[in-house]
Amino acid sequence: MFVPCFDQRAQSAWLSKSGGKPISKGCLENLLANPFYYGTIRMKRSGKLFNGIHTPIIDKSLFDRVQEVKTGKHNRKVSLHNHTYRRLVVCGCCDRTLYGEQQKGQVYMRCHTKGCPTTTIREDRLEGAISRQLLELELGRHDRKRLERELQVLLTRRNTASDRRALQLQLSNLDRRKEQLTDALLDGLIDKSAFQERRVRLENEKQDLSDALRNIDDTDGDEQLARNFLELVKNVCLTYQISNKQQKRRLTEILFSNRTLTGKNLYLEPQKWLSNKLWAISVLCGPPDRDTARTKEHIQNVLNEFHEWPRQ
C-alpha cells in the first residue's frame, strides 16, 4: 500500500470530494502523478508535455521525489551537502559518481545505485589514501638533483635554429594535410561531419605549433617553468595536506586522471606528468613538438593556478 492509514490521513488533511467523502486511493495517485501542479500540462491522448501559463504550486524537484517514493526508488535521505570530494570518485561497478553523506559526525562517499557492490569509503580514509599516493610520488633529494642535471642537459642541447626549422616543416606538412582533407571531402570520401571534426583537430595542431614557434627563443622561461614544476612535485603531499577543502578538491582533480572505487578498493591513477617526472622535464625543456605542446601548456596552467593560491 502506497499511503498507510490513508483514510485517516486524507480526512485529517481535509482531502475530500464535494460531498464530503474522502477521496479514493486511486484519485490521490492520479493527483500526485499530475505534472499540472509544477506548471506542465500533459495531453491525455498523446502523453506529450507542454509548459502551462498557470502558476505552479510546487517545484519540479518535489514532484520528482514524490514519484521516486511511489515507485519504490526513494532512498532514505541523510544530510547531503556539498562535501569536498563530491562526485570526484567514480564507482568501478556502475560508473556513477559518489556523493558525500554525513552520518554520526563522519562523511562517507557512497554510490547511490541500488544493489551496487561498491558501498562506501569514509572521507578521512579517502584523504589518507590520497596522501599516501602523493607521498610515494614526491621527489627525494637524489631524484631532484638527477632531474636538475637532466634539465640542464636538455637546455644545453636546445638548438634554436634547428628547432625552428623542424617546427616550420611540421607546419608545412600540416597545410598539406588540410589540402588532402578538403580533396577527400570534394571526392566524397568523407562526409561533412567528419571533415569538420578533422579540420578542427588540424587547426588546434596548427595553433600549438604556431605558439611553440613564437616562444622558441624563450629558454629562460622554459627553465623557470621546469623549476616551478620540480618545486611543486618536491612537496606535493605536504601541499595537499595543508591546503583548505577547496584546494584539496582541486588538487585531487589536477593530480589524478582516474579516481575509482570498486567494492572497497580505491584506485588512484596519477597524471603522467606527475608519475613520470623525467618525461615531464623533457616536455618542458626539450625541443618543441606538436605532440607535447598541449601537455606543456597544461602543466603551465596547473602551475599558474597553484601559484595564485593564497598561502596558508
Q: Is residue 102 part of a domain?
A: no
Share of the chain above pLDDT 90, in %: 12
Q: Is residue 93 part of a domain?
A: no
Q: Which three cell numbers stand for residue 32?
A: 500526485
Q: Is residue 4 part of a domain?
A: no
Q: Is residue 97 part of a domain?
A: no
Q: Is residue 291 part of a domain?
A: yes
Q: What is the pLDDT of residues 8-26, one digit of tens each?
A: 554 555 566 666 677 777 7
Q: Which three cell numbers stand for residue 92?
A: 568501478
* Residue 292 lies in domain: 136-307
DSSP 22: B
Q: Is residue 252 part of a domain?
A: yes
Q: What angle do CA 145, 149, 153 make, to 5 degrees?
A: 165
Where are the alpha helices (H) located in the chain, listed in sequence order?
6-12, 25-32, 60-71, 123-137, 141-157, 160-186, 192-214, 219-234, 236-241, 245-255, 272-275, 277-285, 290-307
Q: Which three cell numbers stand for residue 293?
A: 605542446
Q: What is the pLDDT of residues 31-51, one digit of tens each?
A: 888 888 888 777 766 666 666
Q: Is residue 201 part of a domain?
A: yes
pLDDT of residue 268: 94
Helix axes 277-285, 290-307, angle to 10 degrees: 100
Pick out the chain residues at pLDDT < 50: 1-2, 4-6, 10, 73-80
- Residue 244 φ/ψ region, left for φ over 0, alpha for ψ in the -120 to 50 degree band, beta for the rest: beta
Q: Would you mind telling me the total number of residues written for the chain in this entry? A: 312
Asked if residues 276 and 113 have their Cβ atoms less than 8 Å apart, the reply is no
pLDDT of residue 134: 93
| Of the candidates 295, 272, 271, the residue with the CA atom closest to the CA atom of residue 285 | 295
- As for how many domains the chain has, the answer is 1
Q: Which three cell numbers stand for residue 134?
A: 602523493
Helix axes 219-234, 141-157, angle to 10 degrees: 170
Question: What residues does 266 pair with on adjacent strands?
Answer: 261
Q: Is residue 96 part of a domain?
A: no
Is the pTM here over 0.75, yes or no? no
